Amino acid sequence: MGLFGLLFFAFSSTLVLHFNLSTAQTYVFTFCLGGNYTTNSTFQADLSILLSSISNNSTLTNNTKYFNNTVRSNSDGVYGLFQCRGDYTSEDCKKCAKTATEEVTIRCPFKKESVLFYEECLLHYSDKPVISTVQLDPTVSLINTRNISDTSQFTPRLNELMEGIVARAVSNSSSLFAVGENYFTSSNNIFGLAQCTQDISRTGCGRCLNRSISQLSSCCNQREGGRILKPSCIVRFEIYNFFGPEAIIPALPPAPPPPSTPNTNTTNVDVYLICTEKFRVVLPIGAVSCFVYVKRTALEFDRGRNHRKNRHYSSSYSNCGGTAASIHDHHLLLFCKKKGIDTVKNVDEISSVESLQFNFDTVRVATEDFCDSNKLGEGGFGLVYKGQLSDGKDIAVKRLSRNSGQGIEEFKNEVLLLAKLQHRNLVRLFGFCLEGDEKLLIYEFVPNASLDQFLFDPIKRSYLDWERRYKIIGGIARGLLYLHEDSRDRIIHRDLKASNILLDAQMNPKISDFGMARLFVVDQTQGNTSRIVGTYGYMAPEYAMHGQFSVKSDVFSFGVLVLEIMSGQKNNSFYDPERAEDLLCYAWRQWEEGTPLGLIEPTLQECYSRSEVMRCIHIGLLCVQEDVVRRPTMASVVLMLNSYSVTLPLPTAPAFFTSSRGKELGWPTEEHGTNTTNASQPILPDRSISSSIPESINEASISELYPR
């Protein structure tokens, strides 16, 4: 087998392997997890029975390449499943089952859980129930060491291939498996594969595969090959055919025409698609027209406003003046060339947004005509109402004010952003309404309001025992990690605070308010803005003073939030006049004096885990360090919270936000939850801030949409 260079990434229990694929072998990788069992124990006996049942199973046929079993001699038991790849024969499957069951106890001696990957199969056993459970971690990423020279051609075709394969795998309910091929060069095509274990639902399969595709884009988008392996699913691509003998590859679509020579005289103006009875699409671009002949109807635009007549059909087309238009089975791409720059309109995005669109009358009925009794609160740009749809589902509706200063494009960007996010620790977008002057966002209704209403209330704070606070910290960390690392687009929140953490019926945290989030491409991790938006007290100093933001800006806000959860005190209102210190300064002093437990909320008394509390304070102080480089990533934070084997570095001094310093810098201060500023004095030199940065009344899923 080729040599593996192992590099651990400290997030989601994910690790990345770099290797050469020239001499691929059957064995791929093993995860040895959980605790240990002892020799001659009941668990060892049950495991032996389980592995024997897999090895000797006679149902591993071409139609059924999956098997699971549970062996339980006592209350614990052993749970196991075996999955063959869909493109291998039943004989290959049985051989892999025999090899895997023989080798697993050698590769993971005395471990209570193991996930063993081969080219042909996967074996997973555990002392915990794993059957019918979507497991997104641990993850192993395998990366071909050879680079792609022309990523501008390769990446869109790879994305098109993998998205199509995932769609077919999810729709294939019998096997949850699909392969495919797409054009790349005259000598090489791209080959892709996706498969889920057959114990999970199609919805769970889609979630696992989409997460894998996102991670594949992050790790391998400039490589000739790569794959993501998870306990519940696998995805892979190469520029050679790696399929097994029973792979059924769908026929390739017609080869795309060679690109035409760009016309440097082309100007960027509005693009119109006009559907005529003869199904001819005319695209006036400057003085140039291109003709696309479609079989039925096509997407119709009128200065950017779609008319819901989009359909997806094959087409033939001609190129004109450097402009190419192509309608594919699943999406329409318009390319307008100017100085070598492509402008792309993707119908998939437009269609996905349209599928979320609510009728205004439906929302009006759900909220009882936006009745005051259904009002939940008021954010920076409008009111929030509780509503109930005809099927009984509760929703939270944000009705943006007509003078909010937010344009149509900003609204659509917010919808596109939120629609792509799926995580248990993020508020879910159900839909939107854009009709006339009305702009509405419809979210899931989160019944327990926001964290600040519990944390800073002298009565309600008693509901937040240590177990709940610890769970809230972990959930926020995982949600933020998803935004930074696991979502298809990297997202920086820029206004993480207690009022933007909503609590569901089980007190699970959900991050809300992505109105100030800025969309990042995969490799972009920082930026600079001339408009400072956010809440002082949570802002990282480099952002508040210089407009520089990155994922580490969110890490700083997370650290402030952790210290607030530990102490029950607000950073921007905690002030000790005798020592002229804010919450961060107070926490640092307690740490330096060797009395960090002095920070703890008094209502917790002694009902907490000392080790967990100490670790959370330590992590909080690491996150609020003034030195950006020293702050951990959220991937590291999640690892620190989940693994006590990770040694934490010593923190350095945090950035101090005392009231006196804030006034010297011209920052707004808060009194009784209201921001006040000196109207005649700029907030920061050469910087501006949104005119209203309220303490949000977040009793439901609220997303502020600030103008950029």
Find the angle CA(353)-CA(354)-CA(358) to the nearest 5 degrees. Answer: 105
Residue 653, both tokens: 């001094």
Q: Which residues contact 149 (CB under 8 A, 6 or more apart)?
A: none
Q: Which residues contact 324 (CB under 8 A, 6 or more apart)?
A: 257, 259, 260, 290, 317, 335
Q: Are 381 and 705 in contact (CB under 8 A)?
A: yes
Number of Cβ atoms within 10 Å of the Cβ of 609: 12
Q: In angstroms, rounded to a whole number, what is the distance separating the alpha carbons of residues 136 and 211?
A: 8
DSSP 464: -
Q: Which residues contact 194 (CB under 8 A, 6 or more apart)?
A: 162, 165, 166, 169, 177, 178, 179, 209, 212, 233, 234, 235, 236
Residue 320, both tokens: 């004109």
DSSP 186: S
> Please, what is the angle between helix 610-623 and helix 466-481, to 10°?
40
Compute φ and ψ for 656, nearest 5 degrees.
-95, 130
Q: Is the peptide bond before 509 cis (omega within 30 degrees of 0)?
A: no
Q: Following DSSP, what letter does each residue of 102-163 receive, concatenated?
A: HHHHHHSTTEEEEEEEESSEEEEEESS--TT-----SEEEEEESSBPS-HHHHHHHHHHHHH
Residue 603, both tokens: 């209502």
The residue type found at 22 is S
Selection from 22, 209, 31, 51 nearest residue 116 by Cα = 31
420 is in an annotated binding site: no
Q: In angstroms, rounded to a whole number, what is the distance separating the alpha carbons of residues 683 and 666?
A: 5
Q: Which residues contact 480 (CB under 8 A, 6 or more apart)?
A: 493, 496, 511, 554, 558, 634
Q: Are 530 and 608 in contact (CB under 8 A)?
A: no
Examine the residue annotation and report whether 627 is marked as an active-site residue of this protein: no
Q: Which one of the listed residues 46, 92, 127, 495 is annotated catalytic?
A: 495
Q: Are 445 and 492 in contact (CB under 8 A)?
A: no
Selection from 421, 430, 432 nearest residue 393 by Cα = 430
Task: Please state whether 323 falls in left (phi above 0), alpha (psi between -120 and 50) or beta.
Answer: beta
Q: Are 138 and 33 in contact (CB under 8 A)?
A: yes
Q: Please list the residues that pair with 671 across neighbouring strands.
A: 674
Compute φ and ψ for 445, nearest 5 degrees.
-85, 125
The residue type found at 339 is K
Greatest C-alpha distance within the chain: 83
Helix, strand, coil distribution of the chain in percent, nearest 5:
30, 25, 45
Q: In angstroms, rounded to a whole number, what is the distance separating the alpha carbons of residues 344 and 138?
A: 36
Beta strands 225-229 and 233-238, pairing class: antiparallel
Give the three-class secondary structure for 305: strand
| Residues tagged in the binding site annotation | 398
* Catalytic residue set: 495
| Residues tagged in the binding site annotation for ATP | 398
